[in-house]
Amino acid sequence: MELSKIISETNYFVLIIEHIAEKLNKNMCDAYQYIKKYKGMEFLYEFYDVNHTLSVNDVTDDVLAVCGRNGGIPE
C-alpha cells in the first residue's frame, strides 16, 4: 500500500473518531476503544472505499449504529 494512501486513510479515521468522541462526549482515546470494542473500526476499515464518499455525520451515525448492533450503548 502506498504511503500516501495510508496517511489519507489514517487522517480519515482520526476525523471520524473525533466526531464520535464529540457526539458521545468522550475523549478520543475512549471513543476509539468504544468503537474498536463494538466493531465500529472493522466497519470503517472494511467499507472505507464507500464511507469516505459520504458525509462525516452520516458515517459517524453509521459507525455508532454498527456499535449498537454489536452490544454498544452510547453513553
Q: Does residue 25 lie in a domain region? A: yes
CA atoms of 11 and 69, how far apart (whole Å): 26
Q: Does residue 37 lie in a domain region? A: yes
| pLDDT score of 61 | 96
Q: How many domains does the chain have?
A: 1
In the chain the first and final C-alpha atoms are separated, in Å, by 36
| pLDDT score of 12 | 96
Q: Does residue 53 lie in a domain region? A: yes
Quote the pTM value: 0.90
CB contact at 8 A, 12 and 47: no
Per-residue pLDDT of the chain (75 residues), as tens digits, is: 799 888 999 999 999 999 999 999 999 999 999 999 999 999 999 999 999 999 999 999 999 999 999 999 855
Q: Does residue 47 lie in a domain region? A: yes
Q: Does residue 75 lie in a domain region? A: no
| pLDDT score of 64 | 97
* List of E strands, the chain: none
